[in-house]
Amino acid sequence: MKEIKELAQSFNYNISFDSDDSIYVAKCAELPDLMAHGKTQVDALNEILKVVTTTLKWLKEDGAELPKPFSLINFSGKIGLRMTPEQHRHVAIKASLLGISINKYITSKL
């Protein structure tokens, strides 16, 4: 169980405020279908950690592959991107006017 808790603690979490319900909502990037909430940010984080830990335990018991934390994935830095020909033209023009590559232009917009 210690291994599961350590894995859960190495994941990426996001906490946002829901003004409609006056609660904090927490999500886990590695398990995006999971969500939890709390009255404070700390409460929301504690709740999502419980949900993630329980889910990881169930996945392990079922023999499923556990997700890998994004921090342990070796990203290549390359990404394939599809866009419409019109978007491609627009991006090429903008990049050219700025005197930079299309790649540099797109990266600057991220």
Based on the fold, state whether residues 66 and 80 are members of the same structural domain.
no
Tally of structural domains, the chain = 2
- Global confidence as pTM: 0.78
Based on the fold, state whether residues 13 and 42 are members of the same structural domain.
yes
pLDDT in tens, 37-91: 999 999 999 999 999 999 999 999 999 999 999 999 999 999 999 999 999 999 9
Based on the fold, state whether residues 63 and 9 are members of the same structural domain.
yes
Give the domain range for residue 34. Answer: 2-71
Based on the fold, state whether residues 57 and 80 are members of the same structural domain.
no
Based on the fold, state whether residues 81 and 65 are members of the same structural domain.
no
Helix H segments across the chain?
Answer: 2-9, 41-61, 85-98, 102-108
For residue 40, what pLDDT is reported? 98
Mean confidence (pLDDT) of the chain: 96
Based on the fold, state whether residues 57 and 9 are members of the same structural domain.
yes
Based on the fold, state whether residues 59 and 20 are members of the same structural domain.
yes
Q: In angstroms, rounded to a whole number, what is the distance separating the alpha carbons of residues 75 and 84?
A: 26
Based on the fold, state whether residues 24 and 67 are members of the same structural domain.
yes
38: which residues sit within 8 A by CB, 6+ positions away? 23, 24, 26, 44, 45, 46, 47
